[in-house]
Every structure is written in structure tokens, then in C-alpha cells.
Amino acid sequence: MRIPLLSAAWVCILAAVMVHSSALEARLLRADPNAIPGNAALLAFARDRGGALFEAHCAACHGTGGQADAVRGIPALSDPQWLYGTGSVSDIEQIIKYGIRSHHPRGWNLAIMPAYASAQPSARDSKIPPLSPGNIGDLVEYLFQRQGRAADDAAAARGGELFLHAGCYDCHAVDAKGDSAIGAPDLTDAVTLYGDGSRESLVMSIAYGRQGMCPDWVRRINAAGIREVAVFVYSLSHPQGQAGAAAPGSG
């Protein structure tokens, strides 16, 4: 007599837990994504489930803690610097859904870093000749100077001219601080997406171009799961869960 009673109790508890978590899931989907960090119950629920999804789908590239990997061009997710958007839950959710250069039609239309060791197509359908190794060296001195590091002043002055004439400013902005709307990184800060920030790694980026890709997940993770993993990613740079203003800028 005891056994059936006990298992009936378990079934009830299990059912209650399931009803509770599907109610939370429904609230999560209805919520304004940027209000979730201010709601302790929703935040904890989404972060826990999102952590498991992150482990399964993202950790292979982003590591379990969202750490950067400069060899593979993986940006840190655990710092308040964002290449794309502002770092709000809704912006992160947008990236996870449609990816970065993933060719998903609803993805952001992001720029691609050209390979300047090869000729570049110009607006008039002709080709602009490649930059010489000397030109690229001058550009690197200019970027070093902008980063406040020791540089060859004469070369940096030539590089500054080239930055405007070779069209770098078109994507990275005239002040070289980048444009997160098109995914062009800030070239004046200490954060580098590719390599260790050495002259060699900058030469590699400029000469051979870069085209980092983050897959789109909208066809593989359901809407609740995408929101959960977005909240988890948000929490990596906001360990206290406070809905503080996201730092603008890029890395």
C-alpha cells in the first residue's frame, strides 16, 4: 500500500515541477528580454538552462567560460566589450539567432576585412593595386602609435595618410575606433580579435584579410532556448546579474 502512495506523491511533485518550469518558460518568452536581468527568478531560471545549452552548442569554440582565443579569432564573451551591438540581452539574442557572416538572410549585413596583399576591386569595376609590404608596415606603425605604443614616427605619419587613402576609414571610421554596426573592430584599443597584438599579427590581418564566422542557431535551438543561452552569455559579463548599462564599443 505504501509503495503506490509514495510513487503517486512523486508523480505529483514531478508534475508540479514541470508545470512550474513551463510557466517560467512562458513568462521568459513573453518578457522584454532586457528586463530579464532585473527579475531574479527569471534570471536564475534562464541562466541555469542557458548554461547547459552553452556547454552543448557553444563551448567547442567559445570555451566553457566564454574566454577569448586569439589564435582562432574568438572574442571574449566574458568582458563588457562587444564587437557586435551593445551587449544587451536582445542584441546577444539577435547574434545567436542569425549568427555572424553565417549567410543567414536575416543576419546582420557585416563588412569583410579585405586582403590588402591582393588587388582590391574598386567602385568603377577596375582593380586597386595591392598594398606593398612597405605600405602595410607603415599602417602597422600608425596603428601602434594610435594604441599609445612605441612606433616609428615617420612611418606612422605615412600610415596615417594611407589609412584614409586606402579606404580603411570607410569601415574602421576616421578615428580608427571601429563601427560595431558593421562589425569593424576598434583598432586603437588593447583588445585584438586576432593574434597577440604584435606587428606580425597586424600585418597578417591587413595582408590576408579576416572573415570570422559564428553559426546561426535559429533552426537548431528553439525560441526559449535561444533566450536562455542569451541570458547566460549576458550573465558572463554581469556576474551579479544587475541590469547595468552595457558598455558600448568593440574589441
Which residue stretch of 8-16, 32-40, 121-129, 180-188 sits at the interface with ligand HEC (rule: CB under 6 A)? 180-188
Residue closer to ligand HEC, measured from CB, 42 or 113: 113
Cell digits of residue 148: 599609445
DSSP 158-217: HHHHHHHHTTHHHHH-TTS--BTTTTBPPSSSS--SSTTS-HHHHHHHHHH-B---B---
The residues in 193-232 that bind ligand HEC, with binding defined as CB under 6 A, are 193-194, 202, 205-206, 210-215, 217, 229
The least distance separating ligand HEC from the CB of residue 16, rounded to whole angstroms, comes to 30
By CB under 6 A, is residue 114 in contact with ligand HEC?
Answer: yes
Q: Degrees (nearest 5) of the Cα angle 204, 181, 186? A: 40
Candidate residues 74, 155, 236, 246; the one interacting with ligand HEC per rule CB under 6 A:
74
* CA 61/CA 174 separation, integer angstroms: 32
Binding stretches for ligand HEC (CB under 6 A)? 57-58, 60-62, 73-75, 77, 82-84, 92, 95-96, 100, 111-114, 116, 139, 166-168, 170-172, 183-185, 187, 192-194, 202, 205-206, 210-215, 217, 229, 233
